[in-house]
Amino acid sequence: MGKYEVLAKAIVDQVGGKENVQSLTHCITRLRFKLKDESKAHDDVLKNMDGVVTVMKAGGQYQVVIGNHVPAVYDDVLKLVDLAHVSDAARSSEKQKPFDALIDIVSGCFQPFLGALCAAGMIKGINALFIFFKLYTATSGTYITLNAVGDAVFYFLPIFVALTASRQFKLPEFTGLALGAALVYPAIQQTALVGAGAKPLGNIFGVDYFTTFAGVPLIANNYTSSVVPIIFIIWLASKVNRWAKKVIPELIATFFVPMIVLLVTMPLGFLIVGPIISLLTEALSQGFNTVYGISPIVFGLLVGGLWQVLVFFGLHWALIPMVMAQLGSQGWSNILGGQFAASFAQIAVLMGLMFKIYKKKDRQLILPSIISGIAGVTEPAIYGITLPRVKPFIISCIGAAAAGAYAGITNIKIYMLGGLGIFGLPTMISNGKDGTANGAIGSVINAIISALIGMAVAFILTLLFCPKEYDEVIAEETPTLKPEGANPEHIVSPASGTVLPLSEAGDAAFSEGLLGKGAVIVPKIGEIVAPFDGVVVTLFPTKHAIGLISSQGAELLIHVGIDTVQLDGQFFESFVKQGEVVKKGQKLLSFDIKAIETAGFNTQIPIIVTNTQDYSQVNATTVQTINEGESLITVV
C-alpha cells in the first residue's frame, strides 16, 4: 500500500465497503464512485474525515473531494476495492489512438519484470566482455552457465509477456502461461523444423510451409524473443475465455474453459500469426534488396532507422537470409553495418534523459539499461524508458538512421555473425576475402565513427526536444515558498473573459472555498496560458484541468468547465506534459467553448490557489473583464 493507506481504508469503509462499489474513477480533485446503494455511505463521517474536503453527489456519482493528491489516494483505494471491472472501466474512459494504445499495452506488459530484464541484460554483457578479453572460452562451463542465466529472460520472453498480458486482458494467468510456453515450444519453431530436415510441402504467397494443422498449411516462424505475437494471442484468448465461461456449465468450467481456450486460440495463433509475420518478413526482405540495389546509403539509413522497430515486431529476420547468402558466397556482408549503431543511439538517448528525468523510479533504470545497451541488449531501455514516452524512442531511431547512412557510405562489412553492441566490433576485422589485408580494421574504425555520429545526433535531439520530468517538484526549478514578510506574488490571468467571484462557481467544492480561494473566469477565448513561471505538477488525462506551482511557491489549479471530466478529453487539447517547466504566457491548453456548451456543460473556469493556507492574504481582482496576462490574483 502507499502513503494514503489509512485514508483509503477509511474511505472504502465509509462508502459502504468494497462490496458496495460498482465502479471507481477520479478527476483532478475528487474520487468518483458509482455505488450500488448510496444509502450505505456515511456522508457526515466522510465530510469530517481528515484528508477529505467534502462529499458531493451529481450525475449518479458519489464524489469524495480530496484535492490535488487525489491520484495517489485513488491508487490506494483501488487496491482495496479490487474489482476487475474497475480498472477496465477506468481504461475504457481514456480514448486513445491505436498506436498510443499499443504502446501502453506493450509498456504495461514489461513494467512488472523490468528489474529481471535489466539484470539479465547486464549478465549477458559481462559474459560477452569476459569472452572478449579471453578470460574463458565460449565452450567453458562458466560461459554456458552465465549465458543460460542471462539469456533465459530474452529467449523465453513470450512466456513473461504472456503472464503480464494475461493480467491486462483479464485472462487466467496460468492459461496465459500455457499459451506463451506453446508459442516457444522448440519443435514448432521454424529453425527446428528446417534443422530436422523437413522439406517444404508447398508454397503460399511466396512463403514455404513445412507442416499442416488439420490439413491447413501451417507457416512456421521463430517466436522466441518476440513480443507482439503473444500479446495478440493473449488478447484473442481473453475473448475466447469470456465466451467459454458463458456457454460451459459452471460444474465443469474449471477444466473445460481453459481447454477450449487453448484448443481454439493456439491453432489460430499459429495459423494467423505465423503467416502474417512470414509474409511481412518476405516483403521486407524483397524491399530491402531492391533499396540496396538502388543505393547502399539509403539502405543503411533505413536499416539503422528501422532496426529497433523491426526487432520489436520480430521482423528483423528479413535481413538474416540476405546476410547468410553474402557470407556463404563471398565471405563477408555489408548488410548489417547500418544496424550496429542502433544500440548506441539508444544509449545516447538514455544519457540525455539523465538530464531530463528526475523521477526516482525511472532514474534507477537508466544506468543498468546503459550497461545492458553497451552489450547490445536494449530491451530494458526500450520497454522501460524510451518506448513508453514515444519521443525518445523515435529520437533513437533518427540517431541510428544518421549512423546507418554513414555505414552505407563507408561500406562497413562484417566477416562473421557474432555479438551485438561493442562485441560486434570483432566481427568486422577483415579475413582478407574482400581484397583488404587479413586483420585490417577499416570497418571497425568506421563502425566506431558511425556509433559516435548516432550518439551525437540522439543526445542532442534528446536535450532539445524531450521535456523534463519530476516525481514531485524537484531539481533546480523546484519552487520554494517566500519567507514571511516577502513581497506579494501577482498571478496573472490564464484566460480572457468575464471575471466572477469564486462564490458564483457552478460547483460547491469551488464556490464554498473548500479547495482554496481564487476566482472564476467565463472564457471568451478557448485558450489557457501559464499565469507565471513554474512547473506543471498535474495534468489530468482528460486535459480539462491542470495543476501548476510557481517559482515563488503558489500552487494553482485551473479547472476548465464544471464536470467536464465526463467529456473524456473531447474538445480539449494540451500542449504541455506533467513535470514540464513552463514560462509565463506559454500556451498550456485549448478547448472548444461552443462544443462544450452544446454538450450541456458549464464553461466556467475556477482558478484556485490550493495552498491558500500558506498565505495571509489571497485577493482576487475586482475588474469585470480580463485579458490573458493581466493581474488576476495577488497572494501575500
353-363 residue pLDDT tens = 999 887 777 78
**CB of 380 closer than 8 Å to CB of 110:** no
Show the domains of the chain with their CATH numbers.
5-93 (3.30.1360.60), 156-292 (no CATH), 489-635 (2.70.70.10)
Catalytic residues: 27, 559
Beta pairing partners, 522? 498
| Helix or strand (DSSP H, E) at 131 | helix 114-132
Q: Is 439 exposed, middle or buried (0-12, 13-18, 19+ CB in 10 A)?
A: exposed
Q: CA–CA separation, 272 vs 376, rounded Å?
A: 31
Q: pLDDT tens across 319-352, in order?
A: 765 776 676 667 788 888 899 999 999 999 999 9
Residue 59 is given by DSSP the state T
What one-letter code names the amino acid at 625? T
Give the per-residue SS3 of 430-499. CCCCCCCCCCCCHHHHHHHHHHHHHHHHHHHHHHHHCCCEECCCCCCCCCCCCCCCCCCEEEECCCCEEE
Beta pairing partners, 217? 212
Q: pLDDT tens across 106-126, in order?
A: 767 876 787 787 678 778 767
pLDDT value, residue 104:
64
Residue identified by cell 464544471 is 562
Q: pLDDT tens across 457-471, in order?
A: 999 999 999 988 765
pLDDT value, residue 68:
66
CB atoms within 10 A of CB 616: 8
pLDDT surpasses 70 at 572? yes
**CB of 255 closer than 8 Å to CB of 172:** no
Identity of the highest mean pLDDT range in 26-35, 222-231, 238-247: 238-247
Quick one: average pLDDT of 511-532?
92
pLDDT-derived band at 540 (thresholds 50, 70, 90) equals confident
- Indicate if the alpha-carbon torsion angle 137, 143, 148, 150 is positive or negative: negative
**CB of 626 closer than 8 Å to CB of 493:** yes
Quick one: average pLDDT of 220-238?
87
pLDDT value, residue 471:
52
Identity of the highest mean pLDDT range in 49-63, 235-249, 300-314, 571-585: 235-249
Quick one: average pLDDT of 295-312?
88
| Helix or strand (DSSP H, E) at 589 | strand 587-591
Quick one: average pLDDT of 575-594?
90
pLDDT-derived band at 586 (thresholds 50, 70, 90) equals very high
pLDDT-derived band at 97 (thresholds 50, 70, 90) equals low
Q: How far is CA 51 from CA 56, 171, 335, in A?
A: 15, 36, 62
Cα-flanking dihedrals φ and ψ of residue 378, to 5°? -105, 0
- pTM, to two decimals: 0.52
Quick one: average pLDDT of 246-273?
92
| Helix or strand (DSSP H, E) at 102 | helix 98-110
Cα-flanking dihedrals φ and ψ of residue 27, to 5°? -110, -155
